[in-house]
Amino acid sequence: MMLIRDLVGLSFRNLLLHKLRSLLTSLGVIFGVGSVIAMLAISEGAKHSALAQIEAMGIDKVIVFSRRPPIDGKSESSSENASVMERFGLTEQDRQHISRMDNVERITALFDTRNKILKGLQRMDLKLVGCDRAFLNETAAEIEDGRWFSKIDFDSNAQVCVIGMNVKRKLFTLGDTNVIGSNLRIGDHVFRIIGILDNPYATQLPEVGGQNDMILIPMTTGKILFKDYTFLREGRQFKITRVEYDIFLVKVNDTFFIDNTSKRISGYLEKTHEATKDWGMIVPLELLRQRERTQNIFTIVMGSIAGISLVVGGIGIMNIMLASVYERRKEIGTRRALGAQKSDILLQFLIETVFLTTSGGITGILVGVLIGKIITNYSGMETIYSWWSIILALAISCIVGVIFGTYPAYQAAQQNPINVLRSE
């Protein structure tokens, strides 16, 4: 142990003796480790933001949604003035049935009123949506200002609304301080704004859209004011659409039962909705798993590509160390004459190489972090430095030193001191 400590000090001094050469020698490892760190940080960041999106949907949920069934082509050929009645999607009966299933803790429903929302004469890409009171707790959204619906709002069918961040941005001017308490007029109805909601992940719900683009009203109010019917005029044609519910957020009491429950729900819906494919289902947990798999593959591929430069760096170091052994034959011979064992010489050169690669590795980690920061600054891509990637980089640079230092060190130990001392 004592000798090892002395040898580490010795190799440090030897490397300081040739500062520029040491720097150039370890440059390969510096950039190799740097690119490994940066690559891992970038793919970890990409993974994290992708997974956060999915996780914000709720991994303990199954999302069931209504959708317009594919058109057969027959109904399209109706006469110009005829009104078309469309009825599809999830029903109260579905809700009752699903909520009675095993392991289903709660269903939170959303109902899109399919109203046009105008600012002046301009149609806005916003939705007026009725929701259950539990909706806030079932999403990653938070109340930014004001309050959420009270039980009284629901019981009294109050004409109040909570608007998403984007709604505020689109309907009000920037400095407007009186948003809460002001009235919002939609069609023939007026709603008082009681709160502003912000979903930092801007979670998208199928068919309905982003949570920050919603004007939420109590489900009870929505059902009374708008019934289940929507009248839409398209040219001369009237279209009546009837959808009872647009979204069910089905909360399962344990993620362990997600697969089972989602199968049961789809089995049930397939049976009751017969041939019409007027519903869809998203299982965030499954999306998460898939995404995780592809992201992990991505990480491995990126890391391996960066790892190649590390091998190149290692070969460079081996080359220089071999030259260094030749150059330092006199030193080796002298040490042998003074009583160094072959193993002492081997250890000295090995430690020197490992020292070189490891200090290169540490510099490389700093370089990698710097590269990541620059990328984040200029492209906005998220980068994450995990502890394991830093430990991995250190371990790899150490191992590179051992692998590519062993042969030169062996060569050094095999030098014949006689030739060496005579060669002067």
Partner 1 sequence: MAESQIIVQLKDIRKTYITGDLQVPVLKGINAQVERGEFVGFIGTSGSGKSTLLNILGMLDVPTSGEYLLEDVDVSRLSDVEQATIRNRKIGFIFQSFNLFPALTVEQNIEVPMLYARVPGRVRTKRALELAKRVGLGHRLGHKPTQLSGGECQRIAIARALSNSPAFILADEPTGNLDEKTSNEIMELFHELNREQNVTIVMVTHNPALGPHYDKIIRLRDGRIDDRLFEWEIARQQQLQQQQEAAQ
DSSP type of residue 147: -
When the beta carbons of 6 and 105 are compared against partner 1, the nearer one is 6
4 makes contact with partner 1 (CB under 8 A):
no
Among positions 16-45, residues that touch partner 1 (CB under 8 A) are: 16-17
CA 362/CA 420 separation, integer angstroms: 35
91-99, 122-130, 255-263, 414-422 -> range binding partner 1 (CB under 8 A): 414-422
13 makes contact with partner 1 (CB under 8 A):
yes
**136 closest CA partner among 213, 221, 196, 88:** 196
2 makes contact with partner 1 (CB under 8 A):
yes
Among positions 304-343, residues that touch partner 1 (CB under 8 A) are: 330-331, 334-342
Contacts of 124 (CB under 8 A, 6+ apart): 117, 118, 170, 171
418 makes contact with partner 1 (CB under 8 A):
yes
Contacts of 190 (CB under 8 A, 6+ apart): 159, 183, 184
Using CB under 8 A as the binding criterion, the count of chain residues that bind partner 1 stands at 25
Identify the helix (H) or strand (E) that includes residue 278. none
CA 138/CA 108 separation, integer angstroms: 8
Among residues 3, 52, 85, 297, the one that binds partner 1 under rule CB under 8 A: 3
Structure tokens given for 416: 């014949």
For the chain, the residue count is 424
Which residue is associated with the tokens 């009284």?
A: 152
The per-residue DSSP string of 284-308 comes to: HHHHHHHHHHHHHHHHHHHHHHHHH
Minimum CB separation of residue 347 from partner 1 in Å reads 11
14 makes contact with partner 1 (CB under 8 A):
yes
Structure tokens given for 230: 């929507």
366 makes contact with partner 1 (CB under 8 A):
no
417 makes contact with partner 1 (CB under 8 A):
yes
66 makes contact with partner 1 (CB under 8 A):
no
144 vs 150, 165, 179, 212, CA distance in Å?
16, 8, 12, 11
When the beta carbons of 253 and 341 are compared against partner 1, the nearer one is 341
Minimum CB separation of residue 390 from partner 1 in Å reads 31
Minimum CB separation of residue 332 from partner 1 in Å reads 11
When the beta carbons of 319 and 334 are compared against partner 1, the nearer one is 334
Minimum CB separation of residue 360 from partner 1 in Å reads 19
Among residues 4, 8, 10, 134, the one that binds partner 1 under rule CB under 8 A: 10
Minimum CB separation of residue 22 from partner 1 in Å reads 12
Helices (H), ranges, 328-423:
329-337, 342-379, 387-414, 417-422
Minimum CB separation of residue 11 from partner 1 in Å reads 9
When the beta carbons of 300 and 418 are compared against partner 1, the nearer one is 418
Among positions 340-359, residues that touch partner 1 (CB under 8 A) are: 340-342, 344
CA 241/CA 43 separation, integer angstroms: 45
343 vs 2, 22, 34, 361, 413, CA distance in Å?
15, 24, 33, 26, 7
Contact positions toward partner 1, by CB under 8 A? 2-3, 6, 10, 13-14, 16-17, 330-331, 334-342, 344, 417-418, 421-422, 424
